[in-house]
Amino acid sequence: MAAMLNLHFIVLPRIKFSDGIEAARMVFSKCWFDEEKAEHLVKALKHYRKDYDEKLMKFKDRPLADWSADPADAFRMMALGHHDHTRLGYYDVEEEELRLIKERDRGYPDPLRPFEM
């Protein structure tokens, strides 16, 4: 169905949540938002914030799970896949592919480094 609509997808590497937030900050200045069509997204991005732990009296590393989380997460994913983000070298695609291979093959010796564990 997506191909019929001329939509193309890329699989993004798994990176730290905070790195995704930083990517969104890098791309944000390059974005233009239609005042009417993107009203919900703009409100969500303004409302998006860290969760606060009342017991420990500090902010958590994760955002507050409310109505703004899904639109803001979608923006974060867009930022990670944006060409300026990858071109600026925020993460190295080849390095990420190697990390994923190592993660998948955990417990097996690396054929290129047989004496390392």
* Of residues 88, 97, 71, the one with CA closest to residue 10: 97
Place of tokens 């989380």: 69
Model confidence over 6-32: pLDDT tens digits? 877 778 878 888 888 888 888 888 888
pLDDT tens-digit readout, 43-72? 999 999 999 999 999 999 888 999 999 999
| pTM of the full structure | 0.63
- Annotated domain spans of the chain: 34-93
Whether the Cβ atoms of residue 22 and residue 90 lie closer than 8 Å to each other: yes
Confidence of residue 73 (pLDDT cuts 50, 70, 90): very high
Q: Distance between CA 97 and CA 116 in Å, rounded?
A: 20
